[in-house]
Structure 1
Amino acid sequence: MSARAAILGCSGPVLTRAEARFFASSDPWGFILFARNVETPAQVRALVRDLRGAVGREAPVLIDQEGGRVARLTPPHWTGWDNAESFLARFAGPRERVAAMRLRYHVIGTELALLGIDVNCAPMVDIARPETHVAIRQRLYGAAPDAVATLGRAVADGLAAGGVLPVLKHVPGHGRTPLDSHLSLPVVDAPRDLLEAEDFAPFRALADLPLGMTAHIVYAALDAERPATTSPAVLAAIRADIGFRGALMSDDLSMGALSGTLDARAAAAIAAGCDLALHCNGDADEMRAVMGAAPRLAGAALARTDAALAARAALQPVPIDVPAALQQIDDLARGVPVA
């Protein structure tokens, strides 16, 4: 029997008995960790083991470990990083930036894999613009679609080298709004031809990645009423115009951009074409509502999630000396080429 079409969080650093029973009965496809779930490497490994034990399989375990303002793993146990915007500003040219980003995410992937975490919610290939909300802009790779796509590929390759699957986000692009979708619903009024030429371009270049995450944003040229996550028209464009072939998860359903009950949000996301409903905050009542609306994976959604699991199984991690990699990054920033 297939898992249910959802990814869930949990409440703290230790899986409670009630959570274990709930996960065993509801059977989500995967789990996601946040800072509230993280204390020490041994504790995280135990939590990952217990989450998988609850569902009786090697369920994917996700995290948002971009570095900078979005980092669930922090020093002293894990490497600390600047926001992407500040990090990339250290390097003189595109070759140095690409090499540095690949190294950065090879280190991040290696640190995640040592904990049993096998999916990271990156790369983030939204296009930076003057109006982009600061909470998003600091995390972005630049304003030129081709350069952003190249850096996004470096992120994905670095994670894979570390033994971790990437998640392409936020499809089809978060850069044109001054609002934070964690708090309110942004609306993008750009015409479709401009969206396709600019915003969609990096996602199109990375459409082969195994997993993607939608944006809680209204794109008026595609659907004036519903955000991408719950819009059949936008999700059809992600498949047809962007060509994304992987399993598509919603962004967090508890975010302020969405309205309605959690079961209605989950049902709308699945009905629109999301393969997986993502719920992050670990609230038991909200999780029950989401799982009440999440069907067993079937058809194309099952095929896409199975393909993601196959991509996970096919990963061939490349060992990396973390201190040496960090020195290489510093060398690149000083203009010393990396062999």
Structure 2
Amino acid sequence: MVSAAIYGCQGSVLNAEEHAFFRDADPWGFILFRRNIETADQVIALCAALRESIGRNAPILIDHEGGRVTRLSPELAPPRPPAALLGEIVSRQGLPAAEGAARLFGRLLAHDCRRLGIDVDCVPMVDVRQSGAHDIVGDRAFAEDPIVVAKLGAALAAGLEAGGVLPVVKHIPGHGRAMADSHHELPRVGCAHDILSDVDFVPFKLLNQLPLGMTAHIVYEALDPERPATCSPKVIEESVRGEIGFQGLLMTDDLSMKALSGDYRERAERALAAGCDLILHCNGKMDEMQGVAAGTGPLAPARQALSDEILRGRKAPEMSRIDDLEAEFGDIVSAYGRWDA
């Protein structure tokens, strides 16, 4: 049975130990990082090897946001601007123009991924940017207006899906107020529930129909003062599934981030017990993956049925002349010179 886990691997080719581990663990999917990326032919071969190791067309994920967060080298994909560019288009040209640009952007991100064998992109990031917060969000966010964030996130997701790539909405229920980087420490957000509900939750509520979501490793003191959202049954049941209404497959952010504590079996068990559907572990370290596997069982039957439905949504890209789309988007970007690289 398919395990409720997503794993990375160490290098640009799959080694024998990894192949055997994946064969036995049978993860839901895989995720790639820059360490796994060399040439187009190599990435295509690695994706094929990962799928062959478990004998099915498993989803392969990547963080290809644009700006600071992209795993594809310039040789494999043109430099893409950060999400904040789309927010700037709103202020200069209006929301409809920005939504059109966001859909086009998503279509190009999908092309970058799909041609390499990658069919899930961990965008849109619809965290609402907050002045004075840690720059881990920064220009990765579309804007400070939650409605603008939601509209641009929805358009970008539509572009991805048109390009045959599934989107992942993140970081539920909102990373924008964090004063620390959860890669290195556990952030705590102390604002009141009604503020979270009126601002931070809004984009996730409006995008709650998207198929895949990713949690935030953040303590929201008004929701659960003891546990980060990833490991909090209260946050996931009452806020993510309840108030926000997200019913898609919910994956954790990377379990190897320092915001979380405990060994890897414990981290996986806590996240699953809290209500997460999928455990994401990214760094490819075998001892950590073995710990995650020990704490991760198969997808529950109802969630497996949902997974099957979602994965059937990986459709062939819409017919488009990519060169024309690149030229159209290039014309948009050229008006914002500081985003050219």
Interval containing the TM-score (normalised by the shorter chain): over 0.9
Q: Which amino acid aligns with 1:265?
A: R
**1:210 and 1:311 in contact (8 A); partners too:** no
- 1:18 alignment partner in structure 2: 17
Secondary structure of 1:29's counterpart equals strand
**Given the alignment of the two structures, is residue 240 of structure 1 paired with residue 242 of structure 2, yes or no?**
yes
Check whether the contact 2:76–2:112 (CA below 8 A) recurs between aligned residues.
no
Counterpart in 1 of 2:338? none
CA distance in 2, matches of 1:168, 1:51: 24
- Counterpart in 1 of 2:289? 287
Are 1:102 and 2:103 matched, yes or no? yes
Q: Which TM-score applies when normalising by structure 2?
A: 0.94
| C-alpha contact (below 8 Å) 1:270/1:277 kept by paired residues | yes
Distance 1:7 1:174, change over 3 A: same
Q: Return closer, same or farther for 1:40/1:88 CA change in 2, 3 Å cut-off.
A: farther
DSSP-derived class of the 1:32 partner: strand
Aligned to 1:298: 300
The answer to whether the aligner puts 1:8 opposite 2:10 as a matched pair is: no
| Deviation of 1:86 (Å) | 4.1
* Residue 260 of structure 1 pairs with residue 259 of structure 2: no
Match in the other structure for 1:72: 71
**1:209 lines up with 2:213 in the alignment:** no
Offset of residue 322 of structure 1:
2.8
Aligned residues: 332
One-letter amino acid of the structure 1 residue matched with residue 15 of structure 2: T
Q: Is the Cα–Cα contact under 8 Å of residues 96 and 332 in structure 1 kept in the other structure?
A: no
| TM-superposed deviation, 1:323 | 2.9
User: Corresponding residue for 2:182?
Assistant: 181
CA contact (8 A) 1:11 1:37 kept: yes
Counterpart of 2:192 in structure 1 is 191
- Superposed CA RMSD in Å reads 1.5
* Amino acid of the structure 2 residue aligned with 1:305: S
Measured in 2, the distance between the counterparts of 1:148 and 1:86 equals: 12
The answer for the alignment partner of 2:59 in structure 1 is: 60
Partner of 1:152: 153
Structure 1 position 291, deviation (Å): 0.5
Q: Are 2:130 and 1:129 equivalent residues in the alignment?
A: yes
Q: CA deviation at 1:242?
A: 0.5
Q: Which residue of structure 2 aligns with residue 317 of structure 1? A: 317
Instruction: Classify the secondary structure of the residue corresponding to 1:319.
Output: coil
2:272 is the counterpart of 1:273: no
What amino acid sits opposite 2:122 in the alignment?
C
How far residue 334 of structure 1 moved from its aligned partner, in angstroms, is 7.0
Give 1:333 shift. 5.3
Cα distance change of structure 1 residues 46 and 330 upon mapping to structure 2, 3 Å threshold: closer
Cα separation, partners in 2 of 1:245 and 1:82, compared to 1, 3 Å? same
Query: Which string of whole-angstrom CA distances, capped at 9 and with x for unpartnered residues, describes residues 216-255 of structure 1?
Result: 0001111000000000001012001101010000000000
Write the letter of the residue equivalent to 2:27. Answer: P
CA distance in 2, matches of 1:35, 1:77: 11
Cα shift at 1:160: 0.5
> Partner letter of residue 214 of structure 1?
T
Deviation of 1:30 (Å)? 0.5
5+ residue gaps, structure 1, are none
Q: 1:316 to 1:44 in 2, by over 3 A?
A: closer
Contact 1:131 1:177 in 2 (8 A): no
Question: For 2:110 and 2:270, how far apart are their aligned partners in 1?
Answer: 33
TM-score by length of 1: 0.94
Q: Whole-Å Cα distance in 1 between the matches of residues 111 and 44 of structure 2?
A: 14
In 1, distance between residues paired with 2:168 and 2:256?
A: 19
* In 2: Cα distance, 1:334 partner to 1:63 partner: 27
Task: Supply the distance in 2 between the matched residues of 1:23 and 1:220 (Cα, whole angstroms).
Answer: 38
Map of 2:329 onto structure 1: 329
1:310 shift after superposition: 2.7
Question: Which has the higher mean CA deviation after the structures are superposed, 326-335 or 207-216?
Answer: 326-335
- Alpha-carbon contact 1:245-1:304 (below 8 Å) kept: no
SS in 1 for 2:31: strand
Bigger mean CA deviation after superposition, 112-121 or 270-279: 112-121
CA offset at residue 88 of structure 1? 4.2
Would the aligned equivalents of 1:96 and 1:333 in 2 still touch at CA under 8 Å?
no
Unaligned runs of 5+ in 2: 336-341
Residue in 2 that maps onto 1:142: 143
